[in-house]
Amino acid sequence: MLQRLHARVLALSATPAAPFWLAAVALAEGSVFPVPPDLLLIPLVLARPDRAWRLAAVCTLASLCGGAIGWLIGAELVRLAARLIHLYHAEHALAVYRDRFARYGFAVILLKGLTPVPYKVVAIAAGAAHYSLPLFLLASLLTRGARFFLLAALLRRFGERAEAFIARRLTVLAAAAAILIVGGVLVALRA
């Protein structure tokens, strides 16, 4: 099954619609979708290393747009939960959370943007804390851009060897990615 999916993604990478699908996945991952865009970026860059920088840029910009949507979702969730927050007398806890995010938010966004913690968790948390949207987008640009451009550079440099490595170990790599995603969610929930 994974081999067929891998073959489909490689076939998709040869089509003019590939950057659109990459953008759609990156945008959705920033707000609601649980799959990181790296899983599509990797085979696309492997299939077309000449487009590595363009694909990394598409992934970065779409991820930022998705992050802005996630930020808005977080801000709206807190507004909708205002009555519940008041019911549980949690106004002080929310104020403490917002204060901590105001102090350490930039570092949190930078660190978590490079880890397997789903980006949407960081985006929604930043919105819930009413963290500055421009600062959130700046930190996201730095960390998401670094992640996607570094990945593109490595794939461009070691492409054929990376492709052979991935083809031989696709099931193991998919399992590792799933474990990292679940682990990232668990870490985010504990933070």
- How confident is the model at residue 116, as a pLDDT? 62
- How confident is the model at residue 189, as a pLDDT? 56
Q: Which of 35, 43, 36 is nearest to 18 (CA)?
A: 43
Q: What is the DSSP letter of 116?
A: S
Q: Which of 184, 114, 185 is nearest to 151 (CA)?
A: 114
- How confident is the model at residue 32, as a pLDDT? 83
* Sign of the CA dihedral with 136 first, then 138, 141, and 147 last: negative
pLDDT tens per residue across span 92-130: 777 777 888 888 888 888 777 766 678 888 888 899 889
pLDDT < 50: residue spans in the chain: none
- How confident is the model at residue 182, as a pLDDT? 58
With 0.85 as the threshold, say if the pTM is over it.
Answer: no
Token pair, residue 153, equals: 């550079």
- How confident is the model at residue 115, as a pLDDT? 67
- How confident is the model at residue 140, as a pLDDT? 92
Q: Which of 147, 125, 13, 8 is nearest to 77 (CA)?
A: 125
